Each structure stands twice: as structure tokens, then as C-alpha cells.
Chain A
Amino acid sequence: MGKLEVTVGKLRFERPGMVASGIMDETGDSMVRMFRSGAGAAVTKSIGLEPRPGHNNPTFTEVEGGYVNAMGLPNPGIELFREEIEIASREGPVIGSIFGGNAKEFAELAFKMEDHGTVAIELNLSCPHAEGYGAEIGSDPHKVRTIVSAVKSSVNIPVWAKLTPNTSSIVNLGKAAEEGGADAVVAINTLKAMVISPELRRPVLSNKFGGLSGPAIKPVGVRSVYDLRNALDIPVIGVGGITNWKDATEYIMAGASAFQIGSAVGTRGPMVFSEINDGLRMFMIDNGYRSIKEMVGVAHE
């Protein structure tokens, strides 16, 4: 049998797919369900210092090839979230996603996340639809470096930087994260997007614009991972439109040490993780790969 375990820096995961931030990860029980469906780790919903309701509905709509959403970072706040992490951590590794408005807020949130029991921190430097957060600060390499560096000095667990593709050079953002001391980068977050109703003559989402996810963005993500792998020494985690084992394999061959899944939890269901695990095992047997690691970055050779 092909072995599905992967390593991201010093962290080891039994299975290569993680549930991406913002997907079935607002409660401990839903993260447990993702582990039981075959996910190797769960990245939490992005958590801030205070409870936040997010944008008004409509916050989501289907489009050809994916979804456009502008949830607006709803979350119960870092204090209340402790209980959810405790429940989820009994069943599998939890990565705490956090968002702040500046380096100080990020550092404080990361410190609390580590105390809550997460195995790593994922910095949301890429949400495209929340004013003053996410991509608004994450598209400036200087800010990325400063934030990563501040978080690194406040925690002992690995720090991952989730990058935005809404930039002229994602590689520059990746380099900034690496210089700041990041242990890995995660690419990509959603692409800034808008949907308009012709009959009603206005943007559908209450926030007007949102972020495009799903199969439509997969080639953008694969290219980003490929470029980041070339430019960086730290591991890359691939995310964006993975729906089946072939998509996952593209990301791995582009250079991803592990991958995350979001939209497909809606289109395929939570069992998308075990479907992909099964598909990867078969592919590895058929092609003589003994580990995922042997496949990482082979498209560069």
C-alpha cells in the first residue's frame, strides 16, 4: 500500500489532505467529522480577538466552476474558541488560523492559539473581503515579513503564512514570509471576484465583491505553488479547487508537501477526503511511488 503520511517541516500528518480554513471548522464537532472523513488535519475558521458576525447575507453564491463568498470573517473570538479546539484536538491535529489588523494582534492571537493546543498557526494574510484584514495587509511584503516575525517570537509551534493570489507577485509575498521566519507557506486563498444580477441590476453579495474558490481557480493555484516551490526553501501547502485525487496530485507534483480542501466539501461532501486518499493510494501503487514525498515537486524535474 502507498503510504499517505506527509511531513510539513517538523510536523507529520498521517494523511495529506487538510480541511481548509472557513470550511466546516467553526465547531469542535465539525472538525472531528472532517478527521473521521479522512482529513489529516483541520485548519480552523480564522479567529480574531473579539466575536464578529461577519457580513450580512448574501455571503455566498454558486458560479460556474466554483463559489464566490464574502463571509467577512465571522467567528466567536479567541477566548470562546478554546473549547472547540479542545474537542477537535482529541481526534486529530488542529492548525489555528488567525486574523489581526497588525503584528501585535497576530502575535497575541497566536500565543493564545498555542495555549489552546493547536499544532501550528496559519496566518490569514489573504482573505479578500474584510476591510483592514487579510489581503489588505497580506499583499504588502513588508507587512507580511513584520507580522510573521512578530508571531514567530510569540510562539514555539510552526507558523504558516497563507498567501493571497491577488497580487502581481505571490513569490515576493512568499519570500517575505520566509524572511520573517515562516515555517511554511499556504497558497492560495480565493481570487477577488464579483457576481451581478442583471435583472436586479446590482452585485449579489452584500459586500459587493468576494472571493472565488473551487475548480475554476485550480490552475492559478497550481502555478502559484510551482513558482513558490522554485523560489523558497520552506515547504509549500497547496490549496485551491482540489476536488479529486488528480487535482491533489497536480498540486503535489507542482511542489506542495500537503494540500487543503475547501469548496469540494460542499460539492462532493466530507467524504471527498477519503475518496482522494483512496485515489492517491491507487495512483501511487500503479506508478511505483512509495511515499507522497517522492512525488513532491516532480513536475520540476
Chain B
Amino acid sequence: MSETVMLIGKTKESNDTYTMEFNWDVPATPGQFVMVWIPGIDEVPMSLSRIGKTKSITVKGIGEASNAIHKMEIGDYVRLRGPYGNGFSLEDHNNILIVAGGVGVAAVMPAIREKKCDTIIGARSADEIILDEVAKKYSKNVWISTDDGSRGFHGNAVQLAKEKMSAKKYDLVIGCGPEVMLFFLHKACKEKKVECQLSLERHMKCGAGVCGCCVMDALRVCKDGPVFNTKQLDELSDFGSRKRDTCGRVVNLR
């Protein structure tokens, strides 16, 4: 499904991150993503940070495409495709720990709104912590970690998650963030014997499960993912180790 919709809201979350809102009344589940077209520049996958009638994406300015999205103003049109992918399966879980790293918090915002969870938001430093105020409204607890100790727990989000898993028994951990963080979060959950669902990313073209350019092993991140569960992650040899470039060549992550 694709539609050209109008931008109706723009919120500055931090120095380099904006949330862009638009009215787009299509069904979506927590953890799904859309392909966002920036005419003349690119089309990129972005997690939905809100999934109701009003939807949003939360975008960190890291390249040409994301910086171009930041320049858009209310009233501008944007063409979206999706929503795509398998999101988080939250039914049957009532004791969830959410772990978000950096702008990865965008992908877990719908889950935060839907379930009363404990939430960890981690970043390199205090000025990169985003959406913590919104998370506080919906979560039982919100804990912050920063690598440089400028706010909250001094250390990374996985170290903090380990402490919280030791203190309390969770029945599910969901997470989104840099792959190295997710790799160690998966390990930590195995150690603590807690089920996890993690949202991954790869270079995408079709977004609809056709071209196969985003595969990890034989699973399509766009269609079989982007959220993968413990069992899938256990078997994914590409997880934390390899990705493919736009030609399909292997690029080692470690």
C-alpha cells in the first residue's frame, strides 16, 4: 500500500532528531515500518513511532535522506509505502522490559504506549536521550543509561537491563538499537532465561519481501522481520556478524 500524505506535525526531540507526524488511517502494529520517499534523494525504511490514525516517524539526522526529512515543513507532502513487516508480538505478555538504544526508541514507542512496561532508554550522553517524557506517561518505570554517565546509570543499556533482569522476573524483553547492542542484549536475555524480540535493520530496496536484498541468512528483514524472536536470533548466523551492501556483497561487522 502506498499513499502521499501531508505532514501535520513536527517536533524537535533533540539537537539532531525530529518526530514528523501525518494523518494516515491504515492498520499498523507496534514495530512495523514504512518506506519514506524523499524525492530526488532516496527512499528509506523508518520505524513508526506512532501507529494510530495519526502516525509518526522519529528521525535522527545521519545522512542525506534523514537530513532532507528534517527540512520538511508542516503542509509538505510525503509519499509512504507500507506499513510493512512483522512487528512485536505483545499479546500474552504482561511483564515486559523494553530496552531502547539511541533513536531505536522510535520503534518501541507504540509498544510503550500499548503496554504498561518497564522501559530502559540508553544513549551515548544525556543530550541524545529522546522521548523519555512520553515513555514516562505510559511506563511503570523509565530508567535512563548513558555511556558517559551524564544522566542516569553510567554504562550501556544492556548492562542496566542485566541488573533489572536480576532484580525482577520479566516474561519478555523487546529491544531496538544499534546491532552490537542488540547482539549483547540477546546474549543477556539467554543468560537470564528471558524470551526476547529484537528489531533489526538491513539495507532495503523493495520493503515487501520480493527482492531479497535485506536477507539475514534466508530471512527477509523487511517481511519475515524486522522483529525476530529468541529462537530466530539463535539461528541467525548473520546477526551481529555480517550484512550485505547494495551490490549484494558481504560486509563483515566484526
**A, B: real partners:** yes
What residues of chain A have their CB less than 8 Å away from a CB belonging to chain B? Answer: 22-27, 29-30, 32-33, 45, 51-54, 56-62, 67, 69, 71, 74-77, 80, 197-200, 202, 204, 262-263, 265-266, 269
Given contacts A80-B249, A266-B209, contact A57 B217 (CB under 8 A): no
Considering the complex, give the chain A residue whose CB is closest to the CB of B5. A199
CB proximity to A under 8 Å, residues B220-254: 220, 223, 244-249
A266 touches B223 (CB 8 A): yes
Q: Which of B36-44, B46-54, B131-139, B151-159 contacts A (4 or more CB under 8 A)?
A: B36-44
CB distance from B193 to the nearest CB of A (A): 29
The 8 A-B pairs with the shortest beta carbon distances in the complex, nearest first, are A266-B210, A57-B43, A33-B218, A24-B212, A58-B43, A60-B206, A51-B247, A29-B218
Kindly identify which residue among A56, A60, A80, A269 contacts B211, using a CB–CB cutoff of 8 Å. Answer: A60
Considering the complex, give the chain A residue whose CB is closest to the CB of B65. A57
> CA A26 – CA B218 in complex, angstroms?
10
Q: Is B215 interfacial (CB-CB < 8 Å)?
A: yes
Determine the interface band of chain B, counting residues with CB < 8 A from chain A. 20 to 34
| 19 extra interface residue pairs, beta carbon distance < 8 Å, beyond A29-B218, A262-B210, A269-B209 | A23-B211, A26-B212, A26-B244, A26-B248, A27-B215, A32-B218, A52-B247, A56-B42, A58-B35, A59-B205, A60-B208, A60-B211, A62-B2, A74-B246, A200-B77, A202-B39, A204-B37, A263-B210, A269-B223
A74 touches B206 (CB 8 A): no
Q: Is B167 interfacial (CB-CB < 8 Å)?
A: no
Kindly identify which residue among A24, A76, A198 contacts B248, using a CB–CB cutoff of 8 Å. Answer: A76
CB distance from A188 to the nearest CB of B (A): 17
Q: Is B161 interfacial (CB-CB < 8 Å)?
A: no
A-B contact count (CB 8 A): 111
Considering the complex, give the chain A residue whose CB is closest to the CB of B79. A197
Q: Is B30 interfacial (CB-CB < 8 Å)?
A: no
> CA A30 – CA B213 in complex, angstroms?
10
What chain A residues lie within 8 Å of B210 (beta carbons)?
23-24, 60, 67, 69, 262-263, 265-266
Q: Is B141 interfacial (CB-CB < 8 Å)?
A: no
What chain B residues lie within 8 Å of A200 (beta carbons)?
4, 39, 77, 79
Most buried by A among B81, B212, B245: B212
B206 touches A59 (CB 8 A): yes
A197 touches B246 (CB 8 A): no
CB distance from B59 to the nearest CB of A (A): 16
A71 touches B205 (CB 8 A): yes
B4 touches A197 (CB 8 A): yes
B249 touches A51 (CB 8 A): yes
B interface, over-half SS? loop
Q: Is B62 interfacial (CB-CB < 8 Å)?
A: no
What chain B residues lie within 8 Å of A22 (beta carbons)?
211
> CA A69 – CA B246 in complex, angstroms?
16
> CA A74 – CA B215 in complex, angstroms?
15
B249 touches A25 (CB 8 A): no
> CA A132 – CA B217 in complex, angstroms?
33
CB distance from A31 to the nearest CB of B (A): 9
CB distance from B44 to the nearest CB of A (A): 7
What chain B residues lie within 8 Å of A33 (beta carbons)?
218
Given contacts A75-B247, A197-B4, A266-B223, contact A204 B211 (CB under 8 A): no
What chain B residues lie within 8 Å of A71 (beta carbons)?
205, 211
27 contacts between A and B (CB under 8 A): A24-B210, A24-B211, A24-B212, A24-B215, A24-B220, A26-B215, A27-B218, A29-B218, A51-B247, A53-B245, A53-B247, A54-B205, A58-B43, A59-B206, A60-B207, A61-B2, A62-B2, A67-B206, A74-B248, A76-B249, A199-B77, A200-B79, A202-B39, A262-B210, A266-B208, A266-B210, A269-B209
What chain A residues lie within 8 Å of B217 (beta carbons)?
29
CB distance from B159 to the nearest CB of A (A): 33
Contact with A along B168-204 (1 / 0, CB 8 A): 0000000000000000000000000000000000000
> CA A76 – CA B4 in complex, angstroms?
34
What chain A residues lie within 8 Å of B213 (beta carbons)?
26, 74
B205 touches A57 (CB 8 A): yes
CB distance from B228 to the nearest CB of A (A): 15
CB distance from A73 to the nearest CB of B (A): 10
